[in-house]
Amino acid sequence: MHMADALLSPTVGAAMWAVSAGGVALGSARLCRERDDRLAPLMGVLGGFLFAAQMINFSIPGTGSSGHLTGGLLLAILLGPSAAFLTVASVLMIQAFFFADGGLLALGCNIFNLGMIPALLVYPLCYRRLIGSAPGRRREVAVTMFSALLAMQLGALCVVLETAASGISALPLDKFLLLMQPIHLVIGLVEGAVTLAVVSFLRKARPELLTRGSAPGAVPGRVVLASFLVCAVLVAGGLSRFASENPDGLEWSVAKVAGATSLSEHRTGLGGFLAALQKKTARFPEYQAVPAAVPGSASASATTAPQASTVAGKGSAVAGIVGTVVTVLLVTGAAFVLRRSNRAAVAPEA
């Protein structure tokens, strides 16, 4: 459930980056205050452990599919919330840089969905509250399963919301929710079962390891709640700015409903500025791109003057395709020239 750059708008990506960067700063500050220098190498190797564990699968009986650990909750139980959050964030960063899982802009979203939600939200507010000081077996099972489910459901919900707010995918919100939430119900069950099994194993083998997470250094609930409130305001602010600036997402659907009568009036802010600039600088206005004029106007002209839209659409499409081919040729040519000159520069030395 890694988000991808391609589905994100810059506003949503930047807002989530800000939220995650805030979380990283908060977590780092808390760790510095704890001054436990055993923690640094421990977090490092546990990150490596998480990386390896995410790639080892087990088969789920009766289904033919397989599952694996995601690990946010397990690490929070072992290390406490802030250390667990930083560890998960670092693993996500390695995956973004080396395997391009997600991507650099989507890193903020992924750190939030997979790190912040289980470690900084679900663990202190749900798991720690419910588990008590000396839980019985049945209570531990119930609380762990519930927490893992909750973390997965919230993570999936955030993926859906971030995708919908970006407006790149055309998948309707309700259909996407119906697709994601049941899948992550299953994934959450698997996660809960694995977390429970590993914790039980550790309790038998080395029970003293399980005391660290419940150390008094854990983040108090009020701080977490306050920081999430700040995050919510940040995101809401970012999203509403997006809604007023960018004509592609919300206004596009509005324009579809209203027949795109007053789209041009809505074009304010950065989007409007860019559009105006594009209009001013278009050298061949009759060939102007359909994509640049955005579907609102395209559908408007389709309803009022289909003839004109066909002509304009044809012209710009041909120009676009020819231009694309020429650009690809130019780029390839540039690459060859660069390689050649590079080789020529190296050859005399060798």
Partner 1 sequence: MASVHGALLDLKRLDQLAAGDTAVHRLDPRAKVLATLVFIVCVVSFGRYELSALIPFFIFPVCLIAAGRLPAGYLAAKVALVAPFAIAVGICNPLFDRTVLVHLGTLDITGGWLSFASIVVRTALTVAAALTLTALTGFTSICRALVRLGMPKAFAMQLLFLYRYLFVLAEEGGRASRARELRSFGRKGSGLASYASLLGHLLLRTWQRAERMHMAMLARGYTGTFPAAQVGRFGAREVAFVLFWSALFIILRLYNGAELLGTLVTGYLP
Task: Restricting to residues 266-285, name those near partner 1 by CB under 8 A.
Answer: 274, 277-278, 281, 283-284
What stretches of the chain show up as alpha helix (H) in DSSP?
10-34, 39-53, 72-79, 81-98, 107-110, 128-131, 137-166, 173-205, 221-245, 250-258, 263-266, 269-281, 290-304, 306-346
Among 86, 116, 148, 218, binds partner 1 (CB under 8 A): 86
- Give yes or no for a contact between 126 and 154, defined as CB atoms under 8 angstroms apart: no
Give the nearest distance from C-beta 129 to partner 1 in angstroms: 25
Closer to partner 1 by CB, 82 or 147: give it: 82
Nearer to partner 1, 147 or 301 (CB): 301
Q: Which is nearer to partner 1, 130 or 199 (CB)?
A: 199
Query: Of 2, 84, 97, 98, whose CA–CA distance to 46 is shortest?
Result: 84
Q: Which of 226, 232, 233, 322 binds partner 1 (CB under 8 A)?
A: 322
- Per CB under 8 A, does 169 bind partner 1? yes
Which residue of 185, 186, 295, 300 would you call a contact of partner 1, by CB under 8 A? 295
Using CB under 8 A, which residues numbered 42 to 61 contact partner 1? 42-49, 51-53, 55-61
Segment contacting partner 1 by CB under 8 A, of 98-106, 132-140, 149-157, 220-228: 98-106
Comparing CB distances to partner 1, the nearer of 12 and 125 is: 12
Closest separation between CB of residue 288 and partner 1, Å?
9
Q: Does 287 bind partner 1 (CB under 8 A)?
A: yes
Q: Does 228 bind partner 1 (CB under 8 A)?
A: no
**What is the contact mask toward partner 1 in residues 110 to 149, using x (rule: CB under 8 A)?**
----------------------------------------
- Interface with partner 1 (CB under 8 A), residue total 119
| Nearest CB to partner 1, comparing residues 228 and 287 | 287
User: Measured from the CB of residue 302, what is the shortest distance to partner 1 in angstroms?
Assistant: 8
Using CB under 8 A, pick the residue from 16, 96, 120, 149 that binds partner 1: 96
d(CA 230, CA 209): 33
CA–CA separation, 227 vs 232, rounded Å? 9
Segment interacting with partner 1 (CB under 8 A) among 122-130, 137-145, 218-226, 309-317 = 309-317
CA 335/CA 223 separation, integer angstroms: 53
Task: Return the number of the residue (124 or 167) whose C-beta is nearest partner 1.
Answer: 167
Residue 210 is a binding residue for partner 1 (CB under 8 A): no
Neighbours of 133 (CB within 10 A): 5
Tokens of 323: 């231009």
Using the minimum distance from each CB to partner 1, give the nearer residue, 142 or 299.
299
155, amino acid identity? G
Residue 132 to residue 126: CA distance in whole angstroms: 11
Q: Which of 241, 232, 276 is nearest to 9 (CA)?
A: 241
Q: What is the DSSP letter of 66?
A: E
Amino acid identity for residue 113 in this structure: N
Q: Cβ closer to partner 1: 234 or 300?
A: 300
The nearest distance, CB 148 to partner 1, in angstroms, is 14
With vertex at residue 117, the alpha carbon angle to CA 116 and CA 121, rounded to the nearest 5 degrees, is 95
What does the block give as tokens for 320?
């676009």
Residue closer to partner 1 (CB basis): 115 or 124? 115
**150 touches 122 (CB < 8 A):** yes
Work out the number of other CB atoms within 10 angstroms of the CB of residue 157: 16
Touching partner 1, residues 148-167 (CB under 8 A) = 163, 167
Residue 264 has φ and ψ, to the nearest 5°, of -65, -30
